[in-house]
Structure 1
Amino acid sequence: MKNNEEIRKLFKLYLEGKADQQQEETLLRYLDSAKSDDSQFSDLIQEAWSKEASVREDSSEVDLEFGEILAKATIRQQRKSQRFQVLKYAASIALVFSAVLGWYSYQRNQVKPAEAIKMLSLTTLQGEKVKILLSDSTVVFLGGSSTLKWPSRFVKGHHRNIRLEGEGFFEVKRDILSPFVVHSGNIQTQVLGTSFNITAYPSDNIFSVAVRTGKVRVSESDKGVLKKLSLLTPGMKLDYYNKDQRYVVGTAKARDINSWTTNRFIFKDDNLFTMLSKLERYYKVRFELKSPCLAGRRQFNATFNQKSIKEVMEQVRMMSGDNIHYKITKDTLITVWGEDCK
């Protein structure tokens, strides 16, 4: 049996798609032996991840077909499932490597029917917050007027793909074999295990991704091609402008990123129109702005911690120097106007 360093070299060749048949057989024999330890390859896997091209073809069609096959199938022999555990991850993080084709072909010939994966969907009401536990133990806090779509179970060794419209805070269960990917419009957010917030309402021009813990890769998807935008670490935030497809990377206080999940709402340099739009989602209310000139007149920086909507509006009035007035009707309709605004 070859020594540990030689085995690592074989695994690296496999990841790069350069291993010949004899080298692959040697690697398979090692993985099938009692000496096999997946953790010894973790650094090679991370290196392959980091070297993945920033612009590549996003194999959505292959990904979909592959998912459908795995959704209907399972490995017939438990021993073979363990044997290929590491190689399955190599395929999941490196679809661009030629080694995937051989592995994919092998899997197609080794499966039998299994329970199909169902797609689940949940849409929240205005002012509603929901906590969702996914099958992999990932926790999602879904904000008001938002929609989350996810599979009833995830397939080990394959991407954990979900879709979000609206706002969600994610505490992703770490699984190096199965990267977690959130699809929101043209934006894809990919992680292994971390916590982060996404705001992606279809009606908004700006989509945002902010990281509280761990590391997140944000990419733009355009006609099946992924373009890497930025790698975010704790306290970093990316704003993506949908209309002109540009983005800006800034900072945010890590501890404030999921503050909305505990009814602590933070506004930073937001104009009145933007602030009222967010408040509509946080509270079950509707705003009627009678003085449009107020919308972008000034920027607001405020934190509302466990406040009722009446307390919030009273604070807005005071911050405006008593230039902004409001009237609450039946607790759901709030009329806003300005004294010096026609």
Structure 2
Amino acid sequence: MRMEKEQIQIEHLLPDYFSGEISKENRLKVDNWRNLSAGNEKLFREMSTVWKSGAILGQMEQFNPKDALLKVDKRLALYNKPSSVWQKLQKIAAVLLIPLLVYSGFLTISQFKESKLASGETTWQEVKTGTGMVSELTLPDGTQVWLNSETTLRYPLNFGKIREVNLTGEACFDVKKDEKHPFVVTTGTINVEVLGTSFNVANYANENQTEVVLLSGKVKLFTGEYGNKKEVGFLSPNQQALFKPSTKELFVNNVSVEKYTAWKDGVLMFADDPMDEVTRKLSRWFNVEFVLESEELRDYVYRATFKDETLPQILDLLKISAPIEYTRIPRETLPDGNYSKEKIIIRKKRM
């Protein structure tokens, strides 16, 4: 009963949190609640999406997203039996997001049509995911794409002879087979060409590598423009290609593909991964910053699978597996009024 009461209290604090009108004390309550569990963080992200949707609707007409969240919640309570916060959230999202999708689709297509009529050039759609969020979409050719945290995907509204998309971040593709129209993913470093297959590409701007993992089918790897491409290799199922742009080196390994695609199902999977790889993924998952105090820590390896564990639970499990300790430094108010990321400092345990 107490937990339910606290959940309701947090739920009513979120509109003020998103609008920036929340007190420092209540902001801390929400931040602490977010860190209690992965489920709480997921709820927060979904509510954030609803809030941002309301902000866009506000550009269309007089619309107050703060009032909308509370009014829709009350309206649902009147006509439905009591349900979990998560169930209510899904219903609220449905009420608010349907008109948003209609609006954003019209706005984007209109802008692109005007651009095309004016210049005659190919026009592109751009989709972005925020920190800690995973999105799914269907491309114009029927290809399914899952976008990981902090990812940008650009694609044309209408594919030509080549179905080309541009990726920064990480995405998993299930490509609709079409032998007459190759599907190409460009990354700015190494590029991927397929006809119809499933694969994962990770290409974050702040990392000195591009990774391609093949689930099924066959992919061709190349550099340069498609019309003047230089083939550098092929992948078969259960293989990983790791390209280092700084040295132009390409490494191909046999891997268990499950750990590279588990993220799209809300699972973090590590299989003999070094500490810096573990903290890199946790950083995106929980929107925190990690600092490793010594190079020796990078040699520690971990094998684990996480789904609903909180960040503190994961950190404590890491402590059990290796002689480490950690310090958590909470978010701080920045000069511009925003908040810094929580910082986790990991050091070797003093014996």
TM-score category, normalised to shorter length: 0.5 to 0.7
- SS of the equivalent of 1:313 reads helix
Aligned CA distance change for structure 1 residues 222 and 173 (closer, same or farther; 3 Å): closer
Structure-1 residue corresponding to 2:346: 337
Residue in structure 2 matched with residue 179 of structure 1 by the alignment: 182
Deviations, residues 57-114 of structure 1 (Å, cap 9, x unaligned): xxxxxxxxxxxxxx979xxxxxxxxxxxxxxxxxxxxxxxxxxxxxxxxxxxxxxx9x
Shift of 1:225: 4.6
Q: 1:299 offset after TM fit, Å?
A: 2.7
Q: Confirm or deny: 8 A CA contact 2:259 2:271 kept in the other structure.
A: no
Query: Normalization by structure 1: what TM-score?
Result: 0.60
SS of equivalent to 1:306: coil
Query: How big is each residue's C-alpha offset from its partner over 1:142-190, in whole Å with a ceiling of 9 and x where there is no partner?
Result: 11111111111212xx010110011000011111111000001221100
The reply on whether 1:241 has 2:241 as its aligned counterpart is no
Larger deviation: 196-205 or 261-270?
261-270
Distance, in Å, in 1 between the alignment partners of 2:302 and 2:223 is 30
Residue 121 of structure 1 pairs with residue 126 of structure 2: yes
- What is the match of residue 271 of structure 1? 274
Quote the Cα distance in structure 2 between the aligned partners of 1:146 and 1:295.
Answer: 28
Which consecutive residues of structure 2, in runs of 5 or more, have no partner in the other structure? 1-114, 332-339
AA in 2 matched with 1:127: G
**Aligned position for 1:217:** 220
Offset at residue 222 of structure 1 (A):
8.0
Aligned-pair Cα RMSD in Å: 2.9
Residue ranges of structure 1 left out of the alignment (5+ in a row): 1-70, 74-112
Q: Aligned partners of 1:152, 1:129: CA distance in 2, in Å?
A: 22
Q: What is the CA–CA distance in structure 2 between the aligned matches of 1:297 and 1:233, rounded to whole Å?
A: 30
Distance 2:257 2:346 in 1: 35
Q: Which residue of 1 aligns with 2:166?
A: 163
Q: Secondary structure at the match of 2:318?
A: helix
Give 1 or 2 for the bigger CA radius of gyration.
Answer: 1
* Equivalent pair of 2:259/2:270 in contact (CA under 8 Å): no
What CA distance in whole angstroms lies between the structure 1 residues aligned with 2:125 and 2:135?
A: 15
What SS does structure 2 have at the residue aligned with 1:230? strand
- The one-letter amino acid of 2:148's match is G
SS in 2 for 1:282: helix
Shift of 1:226: 2.5
- The aligned counterpart of 1:319 is 321
Q: Hey, what does 1:308 align to over in structure 2? A: 310
Matched, 1:150 2:159: no
Q: Distance in 1 between matches of 2:348 and 2:234?
A: 46
- Is 1:251 the counterpart of 2:251 in the alignment? no
- More strand, by proportion: 1
Which of 276, 281, 297 pairs up with 2:284?
281
**Which 10-residue stretch deviates more, 279-288 or 242-251?**
279-288
On the 8 A contact 2:297/2:348 being kept in 1, the answer is no
CA contact (8 A) 2:197 2:218 kept: yes
Contact persistence 2:145–2:172 (CA under 8 A): yes
Cα displacement (A) at 1:125:
1.3
Verify the 8 A CA contact 2:328 2:345 in the aligned structure 1. yes
SS of the residue aligned with 2:298?
coil
Deviation for aligned residue 1:247: 0.9
Distance 1:72 1:337 in 2: 52
Q: 1:268 to 1:175 in 2, by over 3 A?
A: same
Distance 1:269 1:242, change over 3 A: farther
Name the TM-score, length of structure 2 as normaliser: 0.58
Shift of 1:262: 0.8
Distance 1:296 1:222, change over 3 A: farther
Instruction: Point out the structure with the larger helix share.
Output: 2
CA contact (8 A) 2:176 2:197 kept: yes
Distance verdict in 2 for CA 1:251–1:328, change over 3 Å: farther
Q: 1:325 to 1:145 in 2, by over 3 A?
A: same
Structure 1 277/194 Cα, relative in aligned 2: closer, same or farther at 3 Å?
same
User: For 1:258 and 1:138, how far apart are their aligned partners in 2?
Assistant: 17
SS at match of 1:205: coil
| Equivalent pair of 1:185/1:202 in contact (CA under 8 Å) | no
For residue 194 of structure 2, the aligned residue among 174, 177, 191 is 191
Matches of 2:278 and 2:227, distance apart in 1: 34
Instruction: Specify the code of the residue in structure 2 equivalent to 1:337.
Output: I
Shift of 1:210: 0.4
Structure 1 residues 267, 206: closer, same or farther in 2, change over 3 A? farther
Could you tell me how far apart the structure 2 residues matched to 1:174 and 1:187 are?
22
